Amino acid sequence: MMAQTELERAEETETMTVREAIRLALREELERDEDVYLMGEDVGLFGGVLEVTGDLYEDFGEERVRDTPISEAGFMGAATGSAATGARPVVELMFSDFAGVSMEQIMNQMAKMRYMFGGKAEMPVTVRTTEGGGMGAASQHSGTIHSWIAHFPGLKAVAPGTPESAKGLTKAAIRSDDPVFVFENKMIYEQRGEVPTDEDFVAPLGAAAVEREGEDVTVVATQRLVGESLETADDLAGDVSVEVIDPRSLYPLDTETIVESVRKTGRLIVADESPLSYGTHAEIVARVQEEAFFSLDAPIQRVGTPDTHIPFSPTLEQEVLPSGDDVRDAIDLLT
Amino acid sequence: MADFDLESAEGRLEALRRMVTIRAFDEEAGDRFADGEIPGFVHLYIGEEAVGVGTCAALESDDYIASTHRGHGHCIAKGLDPKLMMAELYGKADGYCNGKGGSMHIADVDAGMLGANGIVGAGPPLATGAALTIDYQDRDQVAVSFCGDGAVAQGQVHEAINLAATWDLPAVFVVENNGYGEATPLDKQHNVENLSDTAQAYDIPGLTVDGMDVTAVAEAVAEARARARAGDGPTFIEAKTYRYRGHYEGDEEPYRDADEIERWKDRDPIESFKRRLIDRGELTEDEFDDLQAEVDAIIEEACAYAEEAPAPSPAEAYDDMFVDTPPEIERFAEAARTQTDGGRAGYGSGDDTDGDHRGD
Ligand SMILES: Cc1ncc(C[n+]2csc(CCOP(=O)(O)OP(=O)(O)O)c2C)c(N)n1
């Protein structure tokens, strides 16, 4: 699958935030396909606790933008049963930490039904959920769990780092006949950028975006760390030429684009907010060393959360959360 | 159109045939499991036939059911083909799930069967979801979930009922109360005697029916179906029944005594329904013997089919994970198709594997 680079961006764009880009994606898909409906806690009348669904309830009505009881196992299971029988539910799971209460339906039903049934079920369900620290929301509302989902066979996982990817990935997820989780980092909802206005623009699942081209070091960054890595790269311009790749889709993962970049630069940093051990970083590192070990000129570096939960106090939270500065330190180490 | 209904003599005979088929299928499955021919574990439905058949007698053929780990009876009651079921128990390519599901996961979504389920209590949310699709798309169907008395202690069952009740969805929750969750009796799992009392919490009708009586079950479900179709929401039906066999095949059943089993057998659902049909002049003993022989032949044929059916090819292990197979999986499938073992080694052949960088 072709990666999207800065050079081949859409012509018609509009500036908007990540939040607006996701809302636009939802609106366009609700308009395009009657089988698509949204559900989740307070997504309707209230417009979503993180205000993503906004005014969709007014425009599409309570059948299509459905408030659920606080019942994650119930509605995640209902979405699964509904998808298997011909509708295209888009569920908002308010905070990804709450996946715990619905994990049975996610792992044993949603992820396994198609396979267990010998392919005789489709599961066009999208789960949108928020991740990440930075708001002082403490441990139970700041987690980054995409590694669990990407690790679990039968589920696809995407995580946008820009408004453009946010729109494109949300639409691709909704159009997919497989279960797709969209992990929205809550600290980038206000981030602004150019977003294609074409209603058929999607960011294909499994295609990375080269957000910045460079020669000396490859930074594979996700979510909030895409923007922070781009800033760091700008700061270092002239001294070090940094290539920034947003994989966007964590499963499936565009190995080719990452490997190609590492073959060019010989250096790799993986920056992702999830905990460092046994996760997203490890997967990317493993694939690169399997395919491009002899192209590496330096040990691969990982930037992530140091296996802690996210603490409440701002000083503690800043201590553990990875940032553009950590990416810069890693670049310093390698160059 | 319903496949069969108990209002007609023909439908009553069909109900009897399905109950007899379930029993014959499960007896055979039990024997073949004991002989080591069927892998995994099997949970038999013998004794509970009236619940599945009574329920399906009240449904239209395109209604949905979500089943349990004890699902063979539900499949046959819904009209699934014993040949494809037995082939699935054998793990064969021609089984309902191409050998990927086995006894605990037989499914045929197009036939309205949303799967047997290895997770206790997982079916009700799926049925609620099917009912949501029906409601959302204005379709003329209902979705029924079966679950056991043990499952009623699971949180997600209550979430499913609450959701369906709150949204007035066309769902029916049928609880098969056979007195035990594995080895633990009902009174050690619940503080209510009638599980249907829990319906009060959702302000929906809850009723307890005789699960050994196919007609009683069918009447309750027919009423629940009509209510669901009228937009009045779900019904909770508890059918009191009994399983004659152990929880799973091989269960030594230290938790109950033989007398108890015999007492329930006196009210055998097949025997009593058969008697009723004979009393009504709709069946003779000879005709029953013919029906039994016909069913035995079907089961024999199913077994022969399952034995002969081809095993899946190893490459099929990589099919059906997604609609589009991602490269992560495709490379293993490719290796299996070409029968090399190279694909398991790693992500690719790698760069510079001739090793000129070694020792840099
Ligand atoms: C979530 C879960 N917990 C435990 C089990 C193990 N298990 C399988 S069947 C069963 C008993 C279920 O009892 P009940 O719901 O009454 O159904 P019955 O077997 O009586 O038909 C248990 C505990 C399981 N499969 N899933």
CB of B118 within 8 Å of any CB in chain A? yes
pLDDT of residue B347: 56
User: Using the beta-carbon criterion (under 8 Å), do B351 and A294 form an inter-chain contact?
Assistant: yes
Q: Give the best residue of A115, A260, A280 to mutate against chain B (max B CB count within 10 A).
A: A115
- The stretch A101-113 carries a mean pLDDT of 97
Please enumerate in sequence order all residues whose Cβ is within 8 A of that of A33, keeping only pairs 6 or more positions apart, or say none: A88, A174
| Averaged pLDDT for residues B285-290 | 98
Q: Which residue has the higher pLDDT, A321 or B348?
A: A321
Residue B146 CA: distances (Å) to CA of A68, A228, A232, B29, B96: 23, 52, 57, 21, 20
Q: With 50 as the cut, is the pLDDT of residue A56 above it? A: yes
Residue B346 has pLDDT above 90, yes or no: no
Mean pLDDT of chain A: 96
Place of tokens 């389920």: B117
Per-residue confidence at B339, pLDDT binned at 50, 70, 90?
confident
Confidence check: pLDDT of B52 > 80: yes
Per-residue burial over B3-20, b = 16 or more CB atoms within 10 Å of its CB, e = otherwise: bbbbeeeebbbbbbbbbb
Tell me, yes or no, if B108 comes closer than 8 A to chain A by beta carbon. Answer: yes
Nearest 5°: phi and psi at A35?
-75, -15
Q: How many other β-carbons are positioned within 10 Å of the β-carbon of residue B334?
A: 16
pLDDT of residue B304: 98
Per-residue H/E/C for chain B: CCCCCCCCHHHHHHHHHHHHHHHHHHHHHHHHHHCCCCCCCCCCCCCCHHHHHHHHHCCCCCCEEECCCCCHHHHHHCCCCHHHHHHHHCCCCCCCCCCCCCHHHCCEHHHCECCCCCCCCCHHHHHHHHHHHHHHCCCCCCEEEEEECHHHHCHHHHHHHHHHHHCCCCEEEEEEECCEECCEEHHHCCCCCCHHHHHHHHCCCEEEEECCCHHHHHHHHHHHHHHHHCCCCCEEEEEECCCCCCCCCCCCCCCCCHHHHHHHHCCCHHHHHHHHHHHCCCCCHHHHHHHHHHHHHHHHHHHHHHHHCCCCCHHHHHCCCCCCCCHHHHHHHHHHHCCCCHHHCCCCCCCCCCCCCCCC
More confident residue, A104 or B346: A104
- Spatial CA neighbour of B150 closest among B123, B113, B115: B123
Find, among A143, A150, A117, A101, the residue nearest to A278 by Cα: A150
Q: State how far the Cα of A247 lies from the Cα of A238, in Å rounded to an integer.
A: 25
The verdict on the CB of residue B47 being under 6 Å from ligand 1 is no
CB of B323 within 8 Å of any CB in chain A? yes
More confident residue, A11 or B321: B321
Q: Output phi, psi for B324, to 5 deg.
A: -110, 120
Q: pLDDT grade, residue B73 (50/70/90)?
A: very high
* Lowest mean pLDDT segment, chosen from A5-9, A116-120, A312-316: A5-9
**Cβ A154 vs Cβ A121: under 8 Å:** no
Name the residue of B68, B103, B104, B120 to mutate for ligand 1: max ligand atoms within 8 A of Cβ. Answer: B120
Tell me, what's the pLDDT at B355? Answer: 46
Q: How many CA atoms lie within 13 A of A127 on its CB side?
A: 34
Mean pLDDT of B10-36: 97
The residue whose CB lies within 8 Å of the most ligand 1 atoms, and thus the one to mutate among B22, B182, B195, is B182
Using CA atoms, how far apart are residues B219 and B251, in angstroms rounded to an integer? 34
Average pLDDT for B193-200? 96
Predicted confidence band of residue B356 (pLDDT cuts 50, 70, 90) = very low
pTM for the full predicted model: 0.92
Is B15 within 8 Å of B273 (Cβ atoms)? yes
Contacts of A113 in chain B (CB under 8 A): 107, 115
Tell how far the Cα of B283 is from the centroid of ligand 1, in angstroms: 38
From the CB of residue A241, how many other CB atoms can be counted at a distance below 10 Å?
16
Mutate to test the interface with B, among A102, A116, A152 (most CBs of B within 10 A): A116
Rounded distance, CA B71 to CA B103, Å? 8
ipTM (interface pTM): 0.89
- Position A115 scores a pLDDT of 98
Report how far ligand 1's centroid is from the alpha carbon of B69 (Å): 7
State residue A184's pLDDT score.
98
Phi and psi dihedrals of A193, rounded to 5?
-175, 175
- pLDDT (tens digit, 9 = 90+) per residue, A15-40? 999 999 999 999 999 999 999 999 99
Half-sphere exposure of B166 (CA within 13 A, CB side): 14
Helices (H), chain A: 18-32, 56-60, 72-84, 99-104, 113-116, 146-151, 163-175, 224-236, 255-265, 280-292, 314-320, 324-334
Active site residues of A: 72, 141
Q: What is the pLDDT of residues A246-277, one digit of tens each?
A: 999 999 999 999 999 999 999 999 999 999 99
Residue B151 near ligand 1, beta carbon < 6 Å: yes
Contacts of A116 in chain B (CB under 8 A): 97, 100-101, 105, 107, 115
**pLDDT for res A5:** 57
Confidence (pLDDT) at B134: 98
The amino acid that residue B103 corresponds to is S
- Mean pLDDT value of segment B152-176: 98
pLDDT at A183 over 80: yes
The whole-number pLDDT of residue B3 equals: 84
Q: In this predicted structure, what is the pLDDT of residue B351?
A: 64
